[in-house]
Amino acid sequence: MYKHLISGLNGSLICALLINAPLTLATPLTVDIEKQQDLSITLYNQNLGLVRDVRSLPRVNQGQTLYIRDVSHQIMSQTLQVENAGKILEQNLNNNLISVPALLQAYTGKKIQLARFNSVSGSETVNDVWLLSANGQFALVEHQGKIETIPVNQPGWRFIFPAIPEGMQARPSLEIRSEGTSKASDAVLTYLTQGLSWQMDYALVLNSKGDRLNLDGLATLNNHTGVDFRNSKVLLMAGQVNQPPEQLLRRHKAAMVMADSVAESGTPEAFQDYQLYRLPQRANLLNGQTKQVSLISAEKVKANRSYHYQMQVYPSLDRQLYDQKPDIRISFTNTESQGLGFALPAGNARVFSPDSEGNRHFIGSARIRNTSKSQTVELPIGKAFDLTVKRQQSLFKKNYDSFQTGHELELINSSDLVKQISITANFHQDWKITASSHSYTRVNASQNRWMIDLPADSSTRLNFKTEIKKL
């Protein structure tokens, strides 16, 4: 019937039918890393990354399946957005990766081949068996009506599978179907993924006087996504992100668009409520790689080295004698006049200082929090060896509506330099100072502070009394 129908049509009509008929290709398109035209990744501090991957596509027919390979193994598929590939009808993440356990599970209840190598004779036998079940150590097979246990992943035994099961693959891929495109295009894939992160580490070199420091900030980049990111624009987002993934994706896709406008010197660009850094050059960030890059540098930053001791004042009797060392703090203010004046992302700071011969030694570490311009950074890096505070309660008395306490502190400076120590008393109920051997400052409703200068190789006594209201 069809033969007669076709023979009855003239050549022009056949051509017209072929031209106007919708073209459907059963063969899917595969787009791998060789088709990549551009790549940008934004790394966050909390095991999160944003990927913008541009791939060149040929003309895509309506309903044709498109496989995009070489995407992150930890992609958050619910955040995937595809542009310039036609209206998306369906998208799937194929993450059923080939492995021995996956193959054993797929072929459970089916016929496979079992090979056994005889190390004595040097020969190998191959038999058809039914795979009944398998776990991490043993598989159960049926051979000639008998049930046998076979060790998994042990020398001498091999499982031979007839083919790769449908849907199983060597690496993850995105499967996309769309309404098609009229011509070749550059598709843009944007998605969030776990396995990317970055952190900041600072090296501070404090001079011997303790009044100047050099600051170097290194960004450590980590990639555990299972895929390499090559020749990529790399952006670093500083700040605590705490938003639903969909909102985060919409908000920070703009970070990719504005990447070219971010200063390349390491100076951050304010973005929404965060700070955005861009590495000055494209970089490779390979799977399993930890990369360190210089991000921030400043010299001769005005600094201050100080000594601090804090004590708790409770309305209770305390007969204990305290013998303690005050904290050493290194502080500096984040301003242009001090040699800085730009946002500092949070990170661990390690402080070094030269000895009399100029050799640097590690003298302590602390954490820098996210610090904007004009804020002060305070780093408690250790305890002062040559300063000692001996403290004991000298008075405790109950009154009708209050408690009276007295305290004596012996401050000892064993060094050959004049040092100033800050003494802070912390209160937890309404209070007032009724007597003090040294001048003081009421800091706030719960703190009182004394600033005391200690001459070299000397000691000083601080005495004060308090009245604490009963609750």
Following DSSP, what letter does each residue of 404-424 receive, concatenated?
EEEEEEEEEE-SSS-EEEEEE
Residue of 115 and 404 predicted with greater confidence:
404
User: What's the pLDDT tens digit per position in 182-202?
Assistant: 999 999 999 999 999 999 999
368 beta partners: 347
**Between 324 and 66, residue with greater pLDDT:** 324
Q: What is the mean pLDDT of residues 158-179?
A: 82
CB 168 within 8 Å of CB 97: yes
Token pair for residue 340?
A: 């800085």
Positions of CATH 2.30.30 in the chain: 100-160
> Which of the four pLDDT bands, split at 50, 70 and 90, describes residue 13?
very low
Q: Give the closest residue to 193 by CA, choosing from 103, 357, 70, 61.
A: 70
Pairing of strands 123-134, 196-206: unpaired
The pLDDT assigned to 136 comes to: 76
The overall average pLDDT reported for the chain is 86
Bigger pLDDT: 427 or 102?
427
CATH dotted code for 305-329+378-469: 2.60.40
Please state the rounded mean pLDDT for residues 277-304. 92
| 228: pLDDT strictly greater than 90 | yes
* pTM of the model as a whole: 0.71
Tokens of 96: 């059923």
**In this structure, which CATH number among 2.30.30, 1.10.287, 2.30.240, 1.10.3470 belongs to the domain 100-160?**
2.30.30
pLDDT at 124: 86
Query: What is the location of CATH 2.60.40 in the chain?
Result: 305-329+378-469
- In this predicted structure, the answer to whether residue 231 has a pLDDT above a threshold of 90 is yes
| Contacts of 388 by beta carbon, 8 Å cutoff, 6+ apart | 323, 324, 325, 410, 411, 412, 414
Question: N- to C-terminal Cα distance for the chain?
Answer: 103
Q: 366: closest CA among 197, 206, 241, 196? A: 206
pLDDT tens per residue, range 397-452:
999 999 999 999 999 999 999 999 999 999 999 999 999 999 999 999 999 999 99
- If phi over 0 gives left and psi between -120 and 50 gives alpha, with beta otherwise, what is residue 271? beta
Say how far apart CA 207 and CA 215 lie, in whole Å: 12
With pLDDT > 90 as the criterion, what percentage of the chain qualifies? 54
Distance CA 3, CA 1 (A): 5
Cα–Cα–Cα angle for 444, 420, 414, rounded to 5 degrees: 135
Tokens (6 digits) for 392: 């004991």
